[in-house]
Amino acid sequence: MTEPRTYAPDSDGGPPRSTYGMPPRFDPTDLLARIAAGERDPGPSLVPVEDRETGTPTGAALWTPGTDNAIIGPRGSGKSWLGLFSAASVMAREGWPVFMLDVEHRPRRAYERLTLLGLDIDTILSRFDYRQMRHMPDSIELWVEAEVERSVEVYSGALVLIDSRGASMARTYAGGRLTESAPDADLWHTRYVAPLLDVGATVVLVDHTPKGDAKARDSAGSLRKDAAIQGTILRADVIEPPTRTNAGTFRYWPVKDNDGWHDEGRAVADLRLAPDDDGLDARLVAPSTSGSTAPSTPARPVRAAAVWRFIEAHPGANVTAIRKAVSGRGTAVDDARRWLVDHGHVVPDGDGFEVSGEVPEWVR
Protein backbone atom coordinates (compact mmCIF):
# COMPACT_ATOMS: atom_id res chain seq x y z
CA MET A 1 0.00 0.00 0.00
CA THR A 2 1.31 3.45 -0.88
CA GLU A 3 2.81 5.39 2.00
CA PRO A 4 1.09 8.69 2.82
CA ARG A 5 2.77 11.92 1.78
CA THR A 6 4.70 13.71 4.50
CA TYR A 7 7.25 16.48 4.72
CA ALA A 8 7.97 16.02 8.44
CA PRO A 9 11.29 14.57 9.66
CA ASP A 10 11.39 10.81 9.60
CA SER A 11 10.47 9.03 12.83
CA ASP A 12 14.06 7.90 13.40
CA GLY A 13 15.32 11.49 13.25
CA GLY A 14 16.62 11.17 9.67
CA PRO A 15 16.10 13.68 6.86
CA PRO A 16 12.59 14.64 5.72
CA ARG A 17 10.99 12.15 3.38
CA SER A 18 9.19 13.44 0.31
CA THR A 19 6.31 11.82 -1.54
CA TYR A 20 5.59 8.11 -1.12
CA GLY A 21 8.16 7.89 1.67
CA MET A 22 11.15 8.35 -0.68
CA PRO A 23 14.07 10.36 0.76
CA PRO A 24 15.16 13.43 -1.23
CA ARG A 25 17.87 12.58 -3.75
CA PHE A 26 20.58 14.88 -5.07
CA ASP A 27 22.91 13.33 -7.64
CA PRO A 28 26.37 14.87 -8.19
CA THR A 29 27.01 16.10 -11.74
CA ASP A 30 30.49 16.37 -13.26
CA LEU A 31 30.05 19.65 -15.13
CA LEU A 32 33.71 19.82 -16.19
CA ALA A 33 33.46 16.42 -17.88
CA ARG A 34 30.31 17.49 -19.71
CA ILE A 35 31.92 20.73 -20.89
CA ALA A 36 35.07 18.90 -21.99
CA ALA A 37 32.96 16.41 -23.93
CA GLY A 38 31.33 19.29 -25.80
CA GLU A 39 27.86 18.42 -24.52
CA ARG A 40 25.30 20.78 -26.02
CA ASP A 41 21.58 20.94 -26.50
CA PRO A 42 21.00 19.12 -29.81
CA GLY A 43 17.77 21.01 -30.51
CA PRO A 44 14.52 19.59 -31.89
CA SER A 45 14.98 16.75 -34.36
CA LEU A 46 12.01 14.46 -33.64
CA VAL A 47 8.83 14.80 -35.74
CA PRO A 48 10.07 17.06 -38.58
CA VAL A 49 7.96 19.80 -40.15
CA GLU A 50 7.51 19.94 -43.95
CA ASP A 51 7.10 22.88 -46.29
CA ARG A 52 3.37 23.27 -46.86
CA GLU A 53 3.76 23.67 -50.63
CA THR A 54 6.66 21.39 -51.65
CA GLY A 55 6.55 18.76 -48.90
CA THR A 56 10.31 19.05 -48.39
CA PRO A 57 11.78 19.25 -44.86
CA THR A 58 12.04 22.77 -43.47
CA GLY A 59 14.71 21.85 -40.93
CA ALA A 60 12.27 22.48 -38.06
CA ALA A 61 10.97 19.74 -35.77
CA LEU A 62 8.82 19.49 -32.65
CA TRP A 63 10.72 17.69 -29.90
CA THR A 64 14.30 17.56 -28.64
CA PRO A 65 15.45 14.00 -27.80
CA GLY A 66 15.64 13.29 -24.09
CA THR A 67 13.28 16.08 -23.00
CA ASP A 68 9.84 16.22 -21.42
CA ASN A 69 7.19 18.03 -23.43
CA ALA A 70 3.45 18.65 -23.39
CA ILE A 71 0.55 19.25 -25.76
CA ILE A 72 -2.30 21.19 -24.14
CA GLY A 73 -5.70 22.40 -25.29
CA PRO A 74 -9.47 21.86 -25.01
CA ARG A 75 -11.19 18.71 -26.19
CA GLY A 76 -11.26 18.25 -29.93
CA SER A 77 -8.30 20.56 -30.57
CA GLY A 78 -5.95 17.90 -31.95
CA LYS A 79 -3.87 17.02 -28.88
CA SER A 80 -4.17 13.24 -29.13
CA TRP A 81 -3.78 13.40 -32.91
CA LEU A 82 -0.42 15.16 -32.57
CA GLY A 83 0.64 12.75 -29.83
CA LEU A 84 -0.06 9.72 -32.03
CA PHE A 85 1.38 11.46 -35.10
CA SER A 86 4.56 11.94 -33.04
CA ALA A 87 4.49 8.25 -32.13
CA ALA A 88 4.06 7.20 -35.76
CA SER A 89 6.85 9.52 -36.90
CA VAL A 90 9.30 8.26 -34.29
CA MET A 91 8.56 4.61 -35.08
CA ALA A 92 8.79 5.08 -38.85
CA ARG A 93 11.67 7.58 -39.10
CA GLU A 94 13.84 6.83 -36.07
CA GLY A 95 13.05 3.15 -35.62
CA TRP A 96 12.46 3.82 -31.93
CA PRO A 97 9.92 1.99 -29.80
CA VAL A 98 7.00 3.98 -28.38
CA PHE A 99 5.47 3.35 -24.96
CA MET A 100 1.98 4.72 -24.48
CA LEU A 101 0.26 5.09 -21.12
CA ASP A 102 -3.36 5.66 -22.07
CA VAL A 103 -5.72 6.73 -19.31
CA GLU A 104 -8.57 8.26 -21.31
CA HIS A 105 -9.22 6.17 -24.43
CA ARG A 106 -9.83 2.63 -25.64
CA PRO A 107 -6.96 0.60 -27.19
CA ARG A 108 -8.86 0.43 -30.49
CA ARG A 109 -8.63 4.20 -30.91
CA ALA A 110 -4.84 4.27 -30.70
CA TYR A 111 -4.49 1.30 -33.07
CA GLU A 112 -6.95 2.72 -35.63
CA ARG A 113 -5.26 6.11 -35.71
CA LEU A 114 -1.78 4.63 -36.06
CA THR A 115 -2.92 2.55 -39.02
CA LEU A 116 -4.62 5.60 -40.55
CA LEU A 117 -1.31 7.44 -40.14
CA GLY A 118 0.36 4.83 -42.33
CA LEU A 119 1.94 2.33 -39.92
CA ASP A 120 1.72 -1.34 -40.86
CA ILE A 121 0.65 -4.02 -38.40
CA ASP A 122 4.16 -5.46 -38.01
CA THR A 123 5.58 -2.08 -37.00
CA ILE A 124 2.80 -1.50 -34.48
CA LEU A 125 3.18 -4.95 -32.94
CA SER A 126 6.97 -4.78 -32.73
CA ARG A 127 7.51 -1.15 -31.68
CA PHE A 128 4.34 0.03 -29.94
CA ASP A 129 4.02 -0.92 -26.26
CA TYR A 130 0.50 0.11 -25.23
CA ARG A 131 -0.57 0.21 -21.58
CA GLN A 132 -4.11 1.15 -20.62
CA MET A 133 -3.74 2.47 -17.09
CA ARG A 134 -6.59 2.04 -14.63
CA HIS A 135 -4.29 3.67 -12.11
CA MET A 136 -0.60 4.59 -12.03
CA PRO A 137 0.92 1.85 -9.87
CA ASP A 138 4.25 1.85 -8.05
CA SER A 139 5.37 -0.87 -10.48
CA ILE A 140 5.77 1.76 -13.20
CA GLU A 141 9.28 2.35 -11.83
CA LEU A 142 10.17 -1.29 -12.39
CA TRP A 143 8.65 -1.06 -15.86
CA VAL A 144 10.76 2.01 -16.60
CA GLU A 145 13.92 0.18 -15.61
CA ALA A 146 13.05 -3.10 -17.30
CA GLU A 147 11.55 -1.85 -20.55
CA VAL A 148 12.21 1.81 -21.34
CA GLU A 149 15.85 1.83 -20.25
CA ARG A 150 16.55 -1.36 -22.19
CA SER A 151 14.92 0.11 -25.29
CA VAL A 152 17.00 3.28 -25.05
CA GLU A 153 20.15 1.16 -24.87
CA VAL A 154 19.15 -1.01 -27.83
CA TYR A 155 17.60 1.62 -30.11
CA SER A 156 19.38 4.78 -28.85
CA GLY A 157 16.04 6.28 -27.92
CA ALA A 158 12.42 5.75 -26.95
CA LEU A 159 9.31 7.90 -26.86
CA VAL A 160 6.87 7.74 -23.95
CA LEU A 161 3.41 9.18 -24.62
CA ILE A 162 1.07 9.78 -21.65
CA ASP A 163 -2.56 10.66 -22.46
CA SER A 164 -3.51 12.43 -20.37
CA ARG A 165 -1.47 14.05 -17.59
CA GLY A 166 -4.50 15.23 -15.61
CA ALA A 167 -6.32 11.88 -15.79
CA SER A 168 -3.20 9.95 -14.83
CA MET A 169 -2.73 12.19 -11.79
CA ALA A 170 -6.30 11.44 -10.76
CA ARG A 171 -5.59 7.69 -10.97
CA THR A 172 -2.13 7.60 -9.49
CA TYR A 173 -3.28 5.55 -6.52
CA ALA A 174 -5.51 2.51 -6.59
CA GLY A 175 -7.12 3.65 -3.36
CA GLY A 176 -6.72 7.40 -3.54
CA ARG A 177 -6.04 10.30 -5.83
CA LEU A 178 -3.65 13.12 -6.49
CA THR A 179 -5.23 16.54 -6.79
CA GLU A 180 -4.54 19.38 -9.22
CA SER A 181 -2.73 21.26 -6.44
CA ALA A 182 0.75 22.66 -7.02
CA PRO A 183 2.50 20.24 -4.61
CA ASP A 184 0.83 17.19 -6.16
CA ALA A 185 1.70 18.41 -9.67
CA ASP A 186 5.36 18.57 -8.66
CA LEU A 187 5.25 15.21 -6.93
CA TRP A 188 3.62 13.43 -9.85
CA HIS A 189 6.20 14.81 -12.29
CA THR A 190 9.07 13.84 -9.99
CA ARG A 191 7.78 10.32 -9.47
CA TYR A 192 6.63 9.38 -12.96
CA VAL A 193 8.30 11.66 -15.51
CA ALA A 194 11.76 12.27 -14.08
CA PRO A 195 12.68 8.54 -14.05
CA LEU A 196 11.81 8.32 -17.75
CA LEU A 197 14.14 11.23 -18.49
CA ASP A 198 16.85 9.69 -16.31
CA VAL A 199 17.06 6.64 -18.58
CA GLY A 200 17.17 8.78 -21.76
CA ALA A 201 13.58 8.63 -22.97
CA THR A 202 11.73 11.46 -24.68
CA VAL A 203 8.39 12.18 -23.00
CA VAL A 204 5.27 13.79 -24.49
CA LEU A 205 2.38 14.52 -22.14
CA VAL A 206 -1.12 15.26 -23.42
CA ASP A 207 -3.17 17.48 -21.12
CA HIS A 208 -6.73 18.78 -21.33
CA THR A 209 -7.43 22.44 -20.56
CA PRO A 210 -11.03 23.62 -20.18
CA LYS A 211 -12.20 25.76 -23.08
CA GLY A 212 -12.43 29.41 -22.14
CA ASP A 213 -11.77 28.72 -18.44
CA ALA A 214 -9.00 31.20 -17.68
CA LYS A 215 -9.30 30.58 -13.94
CA ALA A 216 -8.60 26.86 -14.38
CA ARG A 217 -5.69 27.50 -16.75
CA ASP A 218 -4.14 29.99 -14.33
CA SER A 219 -4.58 27.87 -11.20
CA ALA A 220 -1.53 27.07 -9.12
CA GLY A 221 -1.66 23.39 -10.06
CA SER A 222 -1.85 24.11 -13.79
CA LEU A 223 1.00 26.61 -13.54
CA ARG A 224 3.14 24.10 -11.65
CA LYS A 225 2.39 21.35 -14.17
CA ASP A 226 3.66 23.64 -16.92
CA ALA A 227 6.61 24.88 -14.86
CA ALA A 228 7.80 21.29 -14.37
CA ILE A 229 8.20 20.84 -18.13
CA GLN A 230 11.77 21.57 -19.23
CA GLY A 231 11.23 21.05 -22.95
CA THR A 232 8.43 22.46 -25.11
CA ILE A 233 4.73 23.01 -24.45
CA LEU A 234 2.50 23.38 -27.50
CA ARG A 235 -1.09 24.66 -27.41
CA ALA A 236 -3.44 22.92 -29.83
CA ASP A 237 -6.13 24.80 -31.78
CA VAL A 238 -8.54 23.60 -34.43
CA ILE A 239 -8.60 25.49 -37.71
CA GLU A 240 -10.91 23.13 -39.59
CA PRO A 241 -12.29 20.13 -37.68
CA PRO A 242 -11.57 16.91 -39.60
CA THR A 243 -14.13 14.14 -39.92
CA ARG A 244 -14.04 10.64 -41.41
CA THR A 245 -15.09 12.12 -44.75
CA ASN A 246 -13.76 15.71 -44.71
CA ALA A 247 -10.26 17.12 -44.45
CA GLY A 248 -9.28 19.30 -41.50
CA THR A 249 -6.38 21.15 -39.91
CA PHE A 250 -5.04 21.57 -36.39
CA ARG A 251 -2.55 24.29 -35.46
CA TYR A 252 0.03 24.25 -32.66
CA TRP A 253 1.45 27.29 -30.86
CA PRO A 254 4.43 27.47 -28.48
CA VAL A 255 3.40 28.18 -24.88
CA LYS A 256 6.78 27.39 -23.34
CA ASP A 257 10.15 26.75 -24.94
CA ASN A 258 13.00 27.04 -22.47
CA ASP A 259 15.72 26.72 -25.09
CA GLY A 260 14.27 29.21 -27.58
CA TRP A 261 13.95 26.93 -30.60
CA HIS A 262 10.44 28.15 -31.48
CA ASP A 263 9.53 31.79 -32.08
CA GLU A 264 7.14 33.18 -29.49
CA GLY A 265 3.81 34.21 -30.98
CA ARG A 266 4.30 32.18 -34.17
CA ALA A 267 2.62 28.88 -34.82
CA VAL A 268 5.02 25.95 -34.95
CA ALA A 269 3.12 23.67 -37.32
CA ASP A 270 -0.20 22.68 -38.86
CA LEU A 271 -1.33 19.06 -38.84
CA ARG A 272 -3.39 18.54 -41.99
CA LEU A 273 -5.56 15.42 -42.11
CA ALA A 274 -7.30 14.45 -45.36
CA PRO A 275 -9.09 11.12 -45.99
CA ASP A 276 -7.85 9.26 -49.07
CA ASP A 277 -8.08 5.80 -50.61
CA ASP A 278 -5.25 4.51 -48.38
CA GLY A 279 -6.82 5.79 -45.16
CA LEU A 280 -5.52 9.22 -44.27
CA ASP A 281 -3.10 11.70 -45.80
CA ALA A 282 -1.49 13.26 -42.71
CA ARG A 283 1.11 16.00 -43.05
CA LEU A 284 2.80 18.18 -40.45
CA VAL A 285 3.52 21.40 -42.32
CA ALA A 286 4.78 24.89 -41.58
CA PRO A 287 1.92 27.38 -41.18
CA SER A 288 1.75 30.11 -43.79
CA THR A 289 2.29 32.75 -41.09
CA SER A 290 5.53 31.31 -39.69
CA GLY A 291 9.09 31.28 -40.95
CA SER A 292 10.99 33.70 -43.13
CA THR A 293 9.94 32.17 -46.44
CA ALA A 294 6.16 32.31 -46.15
CA PRO A 295 4.24 31.96 -49.42
CA SER A 296 3.08 35.09 -51.18
CA THR A 297 0.13 36.78 -49.50
CA PRO A 298 -3.17 36.26 -51.32
CA ALA A 299 -5.54 39.15 -51.90
CA ARG A 300 -8.02 39.82 -49.11
CA PRO A 301 -11.19 37.78 -49.75
CA VAL A 302 -14.38 39.70 -50.45
CA ARG A 303 -16.20 38.18 -47.44
CA ALA A 304 -13.36 38.87 -44.96
CA ALA A 305 -14.96 41.98 -43.43
CA ALA A 306 -18.35 40.27 -43.02
CA VAL A 307 -16.78 37.23 -41.38
CA TRP A 308 -14.71 39.45 -39.06
CA ARG A 309 -17.78 41.44 -37.99
CA PHE A 310 -19.78 38.29 -37.25
CA ILE A 311 -16.99 36.75 -35.15
CA GLU A 312 -16.55 40.03 -33.27
CA ALA A 313 -20.26 40.03 -32.42
CA HIS A 314 -20.31 36.29 -31.63
CA PRO A 315 -17.03 35.26 -29.92
CA GLY A 316 -16.51 31.52 -30.03
CA ALA A 317 -18.62 31.02 -33.16
CA ASN A 318 -17.67 27.78 -34.91
CA VAL A 319 -17.31 26.99 -38.60
CA THR A 320 -20.95 25.95 -39.04
CA ALA A 321 -22.32 29.08 -37.36
CA ILE A 322 -20.10 31.34 -39.50
CA ARG A 323 -21.19 29.62 -42.70
CA LYS A 324 -24.88 29.98 -41.80
CA ALA A 325 -24.64 33.64 -40.75
CA VAL A 326 -22.45 35.12 -43.50
CA SER A 327 -24.01 35.36 -46.93
CA GLY A 328 -22.15 33.90 -49.89
CA ARG A 329 -20.94 30.50 -51.04
CA GLY A 330 -19.64 28.26 -48.27
CA THR A 331 -16.23 27.99 -49.89
CA ALA A 332 -15.93 31.78 -50.13
CA VAL A 333 -16.82 32.17 -46.45
CA ASP A 334 -14.32 29.44 -45.52
CA ASP A 335 -11.59 31.11 -47.57
CA ALA A 336 -12.26 34.41 -45.81
CA ARG A 337 -12.10 32.78 -42.39
CA ARG A 338 -8.81 31.02 -43.21
CA TRP A 339 -7.36 34.28 -44.53
CA LEU A 340 -8.32 36.05 -41.30
CA VAL A 341 -6.62 33.33 -39.23
CA ASP A 342 -3.47 33.31 -41.38
CA HIS A 343 -3.14 37.08 -41.03
CA GLY A 344 -3.75 37.18 -37.29
CA HIS A 345 -7.08 39.05 -37.40
CA VAL A 346 -8.89 36.02 -35.96
CA VAL A 347 -7.58 33.29 -33.66
CA PRO A 348 -8.98 29.84 -32.90
CA ASP A 349 -10.68 29.37 -29.53
CA GLY A 350 -11.31 25.67 -29.00
CA ASP A 351 -13.66 24.68 -31.82
CA GLY A 352 -14.65 28.31 -32.44
CA PHE A 353 -12.97 31.63 -33.24
CA GLU A 354 -12.54 35.11 -31.79
CA VAL A 355 -11.11 38.37 -33.14
CA SER A 356 -7.60 39.47 -32.28
CA GLY A 357 -6.04 42.93 -32.08
CA GLU A 358 -7.43 46.22 -33.31
CA VAL A 359 -10.28 46.62 -35.77
CA PRO A 360 -8.71 46.31 -39.24
CA GLU A 361 -8.79 49.45 -41.38
CA TRP A 362 -10.73 47.69 -44.12
CA VAL A 363 -13.54 46.82 -41.65
CA ARG A 364 -14.16 50.39 -40.45
Is 145 a member of any domain?
Answer: yes
Q: Which domain holds residue 52?
A: 44-285
Residues 311, 273: one domain? no
pLDDT on residue 289: 54
The H-assigned helical ranges of 74-212 are 79-89, 107-116, 121-127, 140-143, 149-155, 165-170, 182-188, 194-198
Q: Is the pLDDT of residue 224 over 50?
A: yes
Q: In terms of domains, do 151 and 86 share one?
A: yes
Task: Using the predicted structure, report yes or no on whether residue 331 has a pLDDT greater than 90.
Answer: no
Same domain for 259 and 350: no
Is the preceding omega at residue 164 within 30 degrees of 0, hence cis? Answer: yes
236 has pLDDT over 60? yes
Provide the mean pLDDT of the chain: 77
> What is the rounded CA–CA span in Å between residue 249 and residue 241?
6
Dist. CA 356–CA 348, nearest whole Å:
10
Is 174 found in the same domain as 312? no
CATH of the domain at 324: 1.10.10
Please report the pLDDT score of residue 29 as a whole number.
63
Residues 236 and 346 in one domain: no
User: pTM for the whole thing?
Assistant: 0.68
